[in-house]
Amino acid sequence: MKAWRQHFHQYPEFGFEEKRTADLIAKKLVSFGIEVHQSIGKTGVVGVLKCGTSNRSIGLRADMDALKIEEQNELAYVSKHKGLMHACGHDGHTTMLLGAASELAKNRNFDGTVYFIFQPAEEHGLGAKAMMEDGLFSRWNIDSVYGMHNLPGLAAGHFTTKPDAIMASESNFEIEIIATGGHAAMPHKLTDPIVVGAQIVCALQTIVSRHLSVVEESAVISITEFITNGTVNVIPSHVSIKGDTRSFTDHTLQKVKKAIEQVVKGQCLSAGVEYKFHFSTSFATTINTPEETDIAIKAAVKTVGLSKVNGKGSPITFSEDFAFMLQERKGCYVLIGNGMADSNGMPLHNPHYDFNDEILMTGAQYWVNLVEGQLGK
């Protein structure tokens, strides 16, 4: 598994371009004696392993895509694809699911069907939907789905999850301010989108603090870009402010969306400028169903013992497109600790991040225990 993981690490591929990765996964699954379907949602792979006579089934999902980051690790297996890197550990996720597939195909200690779902393009929230649009849940009868992601900062091989919302929704917005602009020496003869834009950035900070209940609602609003068409002595006529917001319920999300537009509208009205507001949700909230969360916790406890499993973990403001699968099927998403120290504690999406090979066996064993627990003979 270590060799597979380091091989995937050397050849990272961007979302929907995981051709080499998918081919290698398919080849391995075939060698384990597993039925393989390729090109599900462009580059997705589905492996089907049936054993016994039961109609019961389970779907295990791993993501395969890498990020457009230039790796800064000095590793023997450093990325060979310039500008691309497995900085989110999807090389490890793919490997753990392959390890489980190999073990389950060998021992066949279950009664039912296991679907191994290798998903493309998680990073931009498009891969899960693409596989579903390509018939993931209509071509195959998958009762429930389970996902797993590594988490730096959590001790290696520990598990954390929780029922209900575990990962946030992600929405992105753009505020366009349209003014007259003009000579920097004559601001009284024009409308200035910079001043109103700056006021909007500050006013948006009041949404979380003044509109949301500190007990019941939580959200993050971050402004990430402020772009103008001005120059050193020219006040711009156009400002574009872009940002990102995360929350854990649809109710909070709708409240945040409404409040942002209200702030923009009021500020622009007071400054006498026009605006356009664009808002789109790219990731839904990841919601674990209670019964399947219990099943996942049991499998984790069986794998590493009670002391290393937190079944009442905190929700995380990262987002996950596995959320879309959980909108259609019951299931649970768990996090496995990537380790605390050195490179294993490096955050996700960091050019020094590396998946911790010491947890490969633990993750694979969790999958095996989950299947054997759920589809026990």
Which are the catalytic amino acids? Answer: 65, 122
Least distance from Zn ion to the Cβ atom of residue 141, Å = 28
Smallest gap from residue 15 Cβ to Zn ion (A): 11
CA angle 358, 6, 67 (to 5 degrees): 105
Q: Which one of the spans 80-88, 190-198, 331-339, 361-369 is the region binding Zn ion (CB under 5 A)?
A: 80-88
Give the angle subtended at the CA of 376 by the CAs of 371 and 377, to the nearest 5°: 140
Q: Least separation, in Å, of the C-beta of 348 and Zn ion?
A: 5
The pattern of x and - marking residues 327 through 346 that bind Zn ion according to CB under 5 A reads --------------------
Q: Is 153 left (phi over 0), alpha (psi -120 to 50) or beta?
A: left
Contacting range for Zn ion; rule: CB under 5 A; set: 71-79, 88-96, 227-235, 338-346: 88-96
Closest distance to Zn ion from the beta carbon of 67 (Å): 6
End-to-end CA distance of the chain: 27
Using CB under 5 A, which residues numbered 240 to 269 contact Zn ion?
none
Residue 44, both tokens = 């997705």
Which residues touch 322 (CB under 8 Å, ≥6 apart)?
Answer: 61, 119, 122, 128, 145, 147, 286, 333
Mark residues 40-59: x for contact with Zn ion by CB under 5 A, - for none: --------------------
Q: Which stretch binds Zn ion (CB under 5 A): 28-36, 84-92, 272-280, 325-333?
A: 84-92
Query: Of 90 and 255, which CB lies nearer to Zn ion in the complex structure?
Result: 90
Q: Which residue is nearest to Zn ion (CB)?
A: 88
Ranges of H-type helices in the chain: 2-10, 19-31, 90-107, 127-133, 136-139, 193-206, 250-271, 290-304, 322-328, 360-374
How many residues in the shown chain lie near Zn ion by CB under 5 A? 1
Residue 134: burial class (beta carbons within 10 Å; 0-12, 13-18, 19+): middle
User: CB of residue 277 vs Zn ion: minimum separation in angstroms?
Assistant: 28
Separation CA 62–CA 44 (nearest Å): 10
Among 26, 29, 66, 88, binds Zn ion (CB under 5 A): 88
Q: How far is the CB of 252 from Zn ion (least distance, A)?
A: 23
Contact pattern from residue 297 through residue 316 relative to Zn ion, giving x for each residue in contact according to CB under 5 A and a dash for the rest: --------------------
The rounded distance, in Å, linking the Cα atoms of 87 and 162 is: 25
CB atoms < 10 A from the CB of 132, how many? 20
Q: Which residue number, 154 or 177, has a Cβ lying nearer to Zn ion?
A: 154
DSSP class of residue 313?
P
Give the Cβ contact number of residue 352 at 10 Å. Answer: 13
Q: Which stretch binds Zn ion (CB under 5 A): 85-93, 211-219, 233-241, 273-281?
A: 85-93
Interacting residue ranges for Zn ion, rule: CB under 5 A: 88
